[in-house]
Amino acid sequence: MVFSLEKEIEYWESNYSKTIEQYILGCFLIRPSLVDEYTGRVSATSFPEWQDKRIYECIDGLRDKSTTADLLEIGRALGADLKPIGAIYIDRLMENIITTSNVDFFISLIEQREKRTEYERFSVELDRCIKVGDDLGSVNIMIRDWLNKMIESDGKDESKDESLDRMIADLENPPEQTIIKTGILSIDRIHDGFRPGEVTILAARPSMGKSAFALNIATNVAMQGHGVALFSLEDTRRIVNARICSRLAQVNLGCLLNSDKYRNLSVQSKNCIKVVVANMKELPLYIHDKPMTTNQIRGSIMLEMNKHNVKFVVIDHLGHVSDPVNKDLYHTTTVAIRNIAQCAKENDIHILCLHQLNRGSENRDNSMPRMADLRQSGEIEQLARGIWFIHRKSYYSPGANEDQANLIINKNSHGEKGMVELYCNLSQMHFCDRKEEW
């Protein structure tokens, strides 16, 4: 069905229970960096309501001052206007906005409406000139000026040649880009780093150590200074913190979950734990432990990006995302991984998403996991830029070396595939290079 411009705007405004301008402003409140991206296409005059105009002016003014446009700073910038506008109104602007990926489309609707209004004004003026008998030269100048204005407002897409030239220029003088390393040297030699806008899947059978491994990566990334958001949909924040502390303090996890075992620790170990806890408070690692849908996760990620400049996200795990089952589990998983991949792309972050393997590997003589073992895989193989498996032989063969784990890089869109042998100590939640074993 093809809508007229009015019907298209009416449809979307009824869908979001707010005007197109309010939706755009809500996106700017959630993600102020969008103001930079759309400078030239949006200005205070784009917002007909005075309160929307004032809020935009405050966001834009804070950007000019290089100040983070959080709600507190916006409230301060509004000054005496805050009371008549109301904090509740500002909160409502952000309601029901699950993703900011539609903002470009909605801005284009406003641009179309503004162009049509400009055309109507031009038609009226042209008609007036003809009726009053203005000379032909003046009319031609007016037409030429209007056409130039319309051409400039349309902008200019990057041509094929310009795109290729920019590719070479970026290789010779690389633009600033956050390529995040795992912090485990043997993996980083093969893997080319976590790139923004992409998803990596980390999969394993239960009790294989995938959550512990992901926590090691998340902690390593945070220790490099990158903001990390961790969505623990299975364990509480208390347990997640205990696992991180266990690894960093080199103390068995049980001693941090049981007060009797903790009391039996040496004074030196207790002091070490206290130092580690103090350091953990300074890490840019932000833990969420409430049940969430993929849409709630996306909203939380945007808020964390705005507040803490998060660049790396861990979701543990896909099977615990509380989206309503639509048709069947396969379809639900497909929709969830699409949402997660779109979230990574639109927010320019990397997402490490954990997933559980089916029992296929347990029914084979060779227990090494394969791509076909991904449970309810849906479009995981297509959408993920990296697919990793954790495998411990001792899980299947009692008596095998319990401190050995293998990371299998089964898919790597930007580098090599292969298997990396790691040292693991699950009692202390630790994974590292074999040469660094504790």
Task: Give the phi and the psi of residue 435 in degrees, each rounded to 5.
Answer: -70, -15
State how far the Cα of 46 lies from the Cα of 409, in Å rounded to an integer: 49
Q: Minimal CA–CA distance to 52: which of 6, 103, 18?
A: 18
| Cis bond before residue 317 (omega within 30° of 0) | yes
Residues 364, 366: Cα–Cα separation, whole Å: 5
CA–CA dist 222, 187 (Å, integer): 17
Domain parsing of the chain, residue ranges: 1-156, 185-436
3-state secondary structure of 266: coil
Cα distances (Å, whole numbers) of residue 161 to 154, 291, 431: 20, 48, 47
pLDDT value of residue 1? 38
**Tens-place pLDDT, residues 209-251:** 999 999 999 999 999 999 999 999 989 999 999 999 999 999 9
Place of tokens 């038609």: 123
Q: What is the pLDDT of residue 299?
A: 79
Asked if 415 contacts 190 with a C-beta cutoff of 8 angstroms, the reply is: yes
| Alpha-helical runs (H) found in 237-311 | 237-249, 254-257, 259-263, 267-280, 294-308
Residues of the chain with pLDDT below 70 are 1-17, 66, 68-69, 96, 98-99, 101, 127, 130, 132-163, 171, 174-177, 323-328, 361, 375-378, 435-438
Among positive and negative, which fits the CA dihedral 356, 360, 364, 366?
negative
Task: Please state, in angstroms and rounded to a whole number, the distance separating the CA atoms of residues 361 and 175.
Answer: 43
Q: How far apart are CA 293 and CA 84, in angstroms?
A: 35
Phi, psi of 250, deg, nearest 5:
55, 45
Q: Based on C-alpha coordinates, what's the Rg of the chain?
A: 27
84: part of which helix (H) or strand (E)?
helix 82-85
CA-based torsion, 339, 340, 342, 347: positive or negative:
positive
Query: Alpha carbon 430 to chain centroid distance?
Result: 26
Whether domain 1-156 has CATH 1.10.860.10: the reply is yes
CATH match of 185-436 with 3.40.50.970:
no
Q: Which two tokens stand for residue 209?
A: 């150590």
- Which has the closest alpha carbon to 285: 224, 330, 374? 224
Residue 233 identity (one-letter amino acid): L
412 SS3 class: strand
Give me the amino acid identity at 322.
Answer: S
pLDDT tens figures, 192-209: 889 999 999 999 988 889
Q: What is the dihedral of CA 87, 88, 89, 92, to 10 degrees?
A: 130
The C-alpha atoms of residue 187 and residue 422 are separated, in whole angstroms, by 9
Strands 430-433 and 418-425 turn out to be antiparallel
Euclidean distance between the first and the last CA atom of the chain, given in angstroms as a whole number: 64
- Residue among 358, 361, 309 at smallest CA distance from 330: 358
